[in-house]
Chains A and B, each alone.
Chain A
Amino acid sequence: MTTTQATYSECTVSVAGLSMHVVQGGNGPSAVWLHHSTGPLGWLPLHERLAERLHVSAPDLPGYGRSERPVWARHPRDIAVLLGRAIAKLELEPTLLIGHGFGGWVAAELATMNPSALRGLVLVGAAGLQPEEGEIIDPIFFTFGDYVKQGFHDEAAFEDAFGSDGSESHRELWDFSREMTSRLTWKPWMFNRQLAPLLREVDVPALLVWGAEDRVVPLDCGRRYEAALPDARLVVVEGAGHLVELEAPDRLASLITEFAGA
Chain B
Amino acid sequence: MFIGYFTERPYQDQDSGWFGAVGQPITDLAMSNADYDPKLGADLYNRYLDEKIYAEEMGFDGLMLNEHHSTPFCMGGVMNVEAAILARITKRAKIVLLGNVLPIWDDPLWLAEELAEIDMISRGRLVTGWVRGTGRESVAHNAQSPYNWERFQEAHDFIVKAWTTPGPWRWEGEHYQFRYVNPWARPYQDPHPPIWIPGILSRNTVDWAAKHRYPYIMLATDLEPTKKSFDYYDEQAREHGYEAGSQHHGYLFKVHVDETDELADEVGRKYVQGPSNPFLEGNQGEVLSTLQNLPGLTSRTKVLPTGASLAALQSRGRSGDHAKLGGGTATQAELDKKELGDPFGSYKSQKERYTIITGTPKTVIPKVRHVLETLRPGSIFFWDGDGAMTHEDSMRSLRLMGEEVIPAVREMGKELDLPGPFEMDPYTLAPVEEKTEAAEAVAAPAGD
* Chain A residues in the interface with B (C-beta under 8 A): 140-143, 175, 178-179, 181-183, 186-187
Contacts and interface: CB of A to CB of B under 8 A. Distances in A.
B139 A140 contact: yes
Given A140-B139, A186-B144, A181 B290 contact: no
B289 interface: yes
A179 B295 CA distance: 4
A143 B144 contact: no
Contacts of A179: 146, 295-296
A187 B290 contact: no
Most buried by B among A175, A178, A181: A178
A141 B293 CA distance: 10
B160 interface: no
Interface residues of B, number: 15
A183 B142 contact: no
- Looking at B147, B289, B296, which has the most chain A CB atoms within 10 Å of its CB? B296
Interface in B257-295: 288-290, 293-295
B71 to A, nearest CB: 15
Given A140-B290, A175-B295, A183-B147, 7 more contacts: A140-B294, A141-B29, A175-B300, A179-B146, A179-B296, A182-B295, A186-B142
B145 interface: yes
Interface in B311-326: none
B443 to A, nearest CB: 48
A226 B153 CA distance: 44
A237 B323 CA distance: 38
27 contacts: A140-B139, A140-B290, A140-B294, A141-B29, A141-B288, A141-B290, A142-B290, A143-B289, A143-B290, A175-B293, A175-B300, A178-B295, A179-B295, A179-B296, A181-B295, A182-B144, A182-B145, A182-B146, A182-B294, A182-B295, A182-B296, A183-B144, A183-B146, A183-B147, A186-B142, A186-B144, A187-B144
A186 B146 CA distance: 10
A42 to B, nearest CB: 22
Contact of A187 (B142, B293, B295): B142
A86 to B, nearest CB: 23
Interface in B125-149: 139, 142, 144-147
The 10 lowest CB-CB distance pairs between A and B, nearest first, are A182-B295, A179-B295, A186-B144, A179-B296, A178-B295, A183-B146, A182-B146, A179-B146, A143-B290, A140-B139
A140 B290 CA distance: 7
A22 B296 CA distance: 25
Contacts of B295: 175, 178-179, 181-182
A178 B144 CA distance: 12
Contacts of A175: 293, 295, 300
Contacts of A181: 295
Residue of A140, A178, A182, A187 with most partner-chain B CB within 10 A: A140
Nearest to A177: B295
Contacts of B139: 140
Nearest to B135: A140
Contacts of B144: 182-183, 186-187
A97 B412 CA distance: 72
A36 to B, nearest CB: 15
Nearest to B143: A186
A142 B294 CA distance: 10
Contacts of A143: 289-290
A183 B295 CA distance: 9
Contacts of B300: 175
B290 A183 contact: no
A82 B301 CA distance: 29
A181 B295 CA distance: 9
B144 to A, nearest CB: 4
Contacts of A178: 295
A178 B142 CA distance: 16
Contacts of A183: 144, 146-147, 296
A261 to B, nearest CB: 40
Nearest to B147: A183
Contacts of B147: 183
B110 to A, nearest CB: 19
A160 to B, nearest CB: 24
A52 B266 CA distance: 74
A253 to B, nearest CB: 32
Nearest to A187: B142
A111 B294 CA distance: 32
Nearest to B174: A72
B154 to A, nearest CB: 15
